[in-house]
Amino acid sequence: MSGTTQNCHVLADFSIIPMGAGTNTTKYIVECQKVLLDSGLNFNLHANGTNLEGNYDQVMCAIRKCIDKIRNGCSSLRH
């Protein structure tokens, strides 16, 4: 495989846990869902995280945006 990820199609399963946010994480899920909708990528929210499918660079960018969005509202993250 070459050093480029430009044409690499991936399926990622990820979860981001906002530490110190208490038991109600709905607002964080909604914020991440907005990011994923804006990305235009195929995704599926499930009980233990999110499946995300698409071009490698776009998938990684969307995950980073989710992390950044959630990080703004909690004390720390586990991902």
CA–CA gap between residue 37 and residue 2 (Å, rounded): 30
Which residue carries 């399963």 as its tokens?
Answer: 13
> Which pLDDT score, from 0 to 100, does residue 26 have?
87
pTM (predicted TM-score): 0.82
CA–CA gap between residue 7 and residue 68 (Å, rounded): 25
List the chain pLDDT tens, one digit each, 79 residues.
455 666 799 999 999 888 777 778 888 899 999 999 999 999 999 999 999 999 999 999 999 999 998 887 666 666 5
Domain holding 27: CATH number?
3.30.70.930
**Residue 74 in domain:** yes
**Residue 44 in domain:** yes
> Which pLDDT score, from 0 to 100, does residue 1 have?
46
**Residue 62 in domain:** yes
